[in-house]
Amino acid sequence: MNTRNRPGRHTGAQSGASRSPYGLGTAAGLLQARPRPAALAPQGLASDPGVALNPACSTDAGRPCRHPLTNAVENQRLLAHELAVKGSFDAIVPVLKRIAGLQHEVDFTERAQAIAREDLGFELPAQILADAWVAGLDMRTLYGECVMRTLRLMAKQAQLSNPQQDTDEAVAFFLDSGYHAVDISPCSDGRLKGLVRYILRLPDGAVRSKKSYAGAMFDVDANVKRWIETELMRYREGRPVTADAGTRYLKVAVYHWSSSEPTHEGCAAHGSNVTAAAEAGLNRLIEFRRAIENSFCCGASVDTLLIGVDTDTDAIKLHVPDAAGETNLYRFIDNIELYRASVNDDASSARLKVYRAIQAASATTGWGAGNGEPHEGMRRLIASLLINNLSQIEYVCGNWGGRYPDIGHAERFISVGDGFEEFQLRNLVYFAHLHTVEEGAPDMDVGIKIFSNLNVRHGLPVPVAIHFRYDSRVPGCRERTVERCRRVRAAIETRYGELSRPGLLVCAMTVQDKRPGSSIESVEESGASAARGEP
């Protein structure tokens, strides 16, 4: 057993404001006082349309927001990463426009490749350039190739520049809070793609699973299977703790809405109805919990947590469970309100307000009433997530005036299959988790609808990156995974034939070993697959 993760090892005095809040302790005195505030009236989950330009900052005019609990150094690092990755994808269209104007030049191929190497970081497919003199450049195919090559290039750079920092400490914090595994299912909307790394500020390796589904409507059966695998690993290997450690499995569902355009830019899978999105996420959590408790005896249980995200500001709305683990849609903490209330405080006062907000939510009466406070581990986890998210609220305040300029969809490609763990950025990719197109049709249909507006209406194809992971320890697993890629590609091209036939759908296939840090391997369109280097 890893003694680094023993309970209590990482707890202690409250840290300074610049440190990430993993292992954040809760003073006993702060959790005993339970003032009962007035009932929180059931309110709509959209902000007032008359809100100021910066919906979070409440400092004096002309003074920037500086919350005492935010991590400014991490904000700078994440901004540099976001600008670098998105800038690489956004450079594709200007570069292709420039190249398109040169296609009748005598030295077109050489000049085009020089431009691509300098501005995109890779060379273009030589055959497409060589055939341009016949019927002009095949811009749709060229665009799709550029997106996929940029994807592989950025993934490779992300592996080198983003090591798994703080993972052990975060896992230890989860264990100290009573959780041996954390499984998150957000909506597949691209605006939530940065959920773990940015919005919640958690190391990727600390989360057991993070699979996205349209409307956060995760597959209950598949999630029960994942729970079984996790528990079997505890029984057989004692990882991360043994089966008698008294910890639980935490399942999190994440829905979203837009405070600026609540009826148009919310969750497409639920018709931009935030109440429907929240209720659907909660119902899935209830079904998952009941499935575990009904199917397995001897204390088998899970904790559940429902989180909402305003994709305009990245502020979370965290629904606080009661002592029985039950969740109520009207018992929550709106973190943007907590940010406003504590931005002018010192670190100690701001941290105290976080805990008091948990107490106040737990004491909600009326529609949001529950059966007491959640257990101490859940309270500590909630406090940590709220504090982490304060950094993200300030990240949006400092860089975009409190609200993203792209409040709607602006994804660059659709990811199908297991997804790319290397990409954790808002509005970069729409993710459709599936094993077959038939079972994942709702997710794919939503993605195609989004890209029909983003790309197809402008004559650009829909880039679809089909990506599955294999286990190199299992004989023949890679070959079977490659065949799955080809079956999924054929099914996608058949289902969306009206886009595929005129070249408005471009699919690329890749596979990757499940081992951390494994490289992404391209799959040839026909014949034997091969891992090839960067073009």
Structure tokens at 20: 């990430």
- Tell me which DSSP letter residue 374 carries: P
Whether 189 is catalytic is yes
Q: In whole angstroms, give the CA distance from residue 82 to residue 396.
A: 12
Radius of gyration of the chain from Cα atoms?
24
Name the CA dihedral angle for 129, 130, 134, 139, rounded to a multiple of 10 degrees.
Answer: -10
Please, what is the angle between helix 72-90 and helix 376-400, to 10°? 60
Contact 302, 289 (CB under 8 A): yes
Q: State the number of CA atoms in the 13 A half-sphere of 79 facing the CB.
A: 15
Peptide linkage before 240 cis (omega within 30 of 0): yes
- What DSSP letter does each residue of 288-329 carry, written as one string? HHHHHHHH--TT--EEEEEEEEETTTTEEEEEPP-TTS---T
Catalytic residue among 176, 183, 189, 303: 189
Question: 361 — phi, psi (to 5°)?
Answer: -65, -40
Structure tokens at 515: 């081992």
Question: Measured at the alpha carbon of residue 58, what is the angle toward residues 57 and 61, in degrees to the nearest 5?
Answer: 100
- Side by side, the strands of the sheet bearing 505-513 are 429-433, 413-417, 462-470, 505-513, 520-522
- Tell me which DSSP letter residue 206 carries: G
Contact 212, 185 (CB under 8 A): yes
Which residue numbers are catalytic? 189
